[in-house]
Amino acid sequence: MHISVFCGSSLPRNKEIVEAAATLGRRIAQEGHTLVYGGSNLGLMGVVSGAALEAGGRVVGVIPNLFSDDIIHSQTVTELVRVRSMAERKEYLIAHSDAFIALPGGIGTLDEIAEVMVMNQLQIVGGQRILDGSYRTKPMILLNIDGYFDPFIAQIQRAHAEGLMRTTAGLVAVSTVEEVLCHIY
């Protein structure tokens, strides 16, 4: 299974989040899955990808050409995919993954979460709507360490309760890596 992890290229102050990122990367590798991520070796991206590689896992980094060649070539990954833009990176991550996990992150992480939810709600795969009933929602799991995503979850629940969203679009929130693994199968 290809699992995309959404997270930032910064390190948070909360060390519990850093520990969860390392545990997640390690467990993805130990379970025999492929980690697909944003391609940076900085911040949480570096923690999760480094832990997966250290555990012998396959790691696919997807990085836009807008970064300098020295940054692009400094990435330690099994496979490096270069794309033209941040939007193309997001498209690649979504098209080439079976499940999605978000660690606490910034606006880029929230954008990626929302994009997966939109694709799930509209039943879009590879730019095409699947209307024959065969569409399977791809899990979008929030690793909600220390309640980080609580305000986001509350907003989604409110939109659903107000009738502004038909479904919660595959969104699941859990607080441990073990719970994450239960939801990706």
Span 131-156, average pLDDT:
89
The answer to whether residues 80 and 38 touch, using CB atoms and an 8 Å cutoff, is no
Query: Hey, what are 132's tokens?
Result: 């024959």
pLDDT tens, residue by residue, 89-115: 999 999 899 999 999 999 999 999 999
pLDDT of residue 72: 65
| C-alpha span between 44 and 12 (Å, rounded) | 8
List domains and CATH numbers for the chain: 2-183 (3.40.50.450)
Q: How confident is the model at residue 125 (pLDDT cuts 50, 70, 90)?
A: low
The residue written with tokens 């020295």 in the block is 70
Average pLDDT, the chain: 90
Question: What's the pTM?
Answer: 0.92
* Res. 169: pLDDT tops 90: no
Q: Which of 177, 144, 175, 145 has its CA nearest to residue 26?
A: 177
